[in-house]
Amino acid sequence: MLAETICSAVSAAGLGIAAVTAWRKRFLAATRIAAYSLVPIALVLTGIVDWVAGIAFKPSVWLGFGLLAVAWVLFMTTRAVERRSGGTRKERRAAARAARGDAVAPAASAPSLGAGVPQAQARPKGKSREQSVVPGEDFSDIEAILKKHGI
């Protein structure tokens, strides 16, 4: 009841301001002010004000918003921890396996790109080439580009 009275008063005040603005020969601004001042009374008549007031003053609704906030915080925390720890368990195992492999042969002065893990073992079936980056992949196309540019 109080919300409806306040909305009606705001609409009446807005229409009064629109009338004064129109009296000053600023019809475009007066029309815009009249349009804005009709919104609160329209919300009252459609029942949206009662619905919002019903939501705002129910403890169960606020408990629901609180639970949504807790769920969001938990979700974001798990994502942050997962990113910091290096991803999923499978990704950590793959990274540990990759760290154990030697990138440079013991007596070599340059990295050995072709030697290392065999291709059948390097890329598990079911994953695309972009998803599994394993040492020992074929880098011949990159080598060709680098040689072409004299690097």
The per-residue pLDDT string of the chain (151 residues; one tens digit each, 9 = 90 and over) reads 788 899 999 999 999 999 999 999 999 999 999 999 999 999 999 998 888 888 888 888 889 889 999 999 999 998 888 777 766 777 777 877 877 765 555 555 666 565 555 555 555 555 555 555 555 667 888 888 888 888 8
| Among the listed residues 40, 36, 41, the one whose alpha carbon sits nearest the alpha carbon of residue 21 | 36
| Among the listed residues 98, 86, 90, the one whose alpha carbon sits nearest the alpha carbon of residue 135 | 98
Q: Would you state the pLDDT for residue 130? A: 53
pTM: 0.43
What is the distance, to the nearest Å, from the Cα of residue 46 to the centroid of all Cα atoms in its chain?
Answer: 34
Instruction: Give the CA radius of gyration of the chain.
Output: 34
Query: At 112, is the secondary structure helix, strand, or coil?
Result: coil
Handedness of CA 115, 117, 120, 126 (dihedral sign): negative
Question: Any idea what DSSP says for residue 136?
Answer: T
| Spatial distance between the Cα atoms of 110 and 98, rounded to a whole number of angstroms | 18
Handedness of CA 38, 42, 44, 50 (dihedral sign): negative
| Spatial distance between the Cα atoms of 10 and 112, rounded to a whole number of angstroms | 78
Q: Would you state the pLDDT for residue 33? A: 94
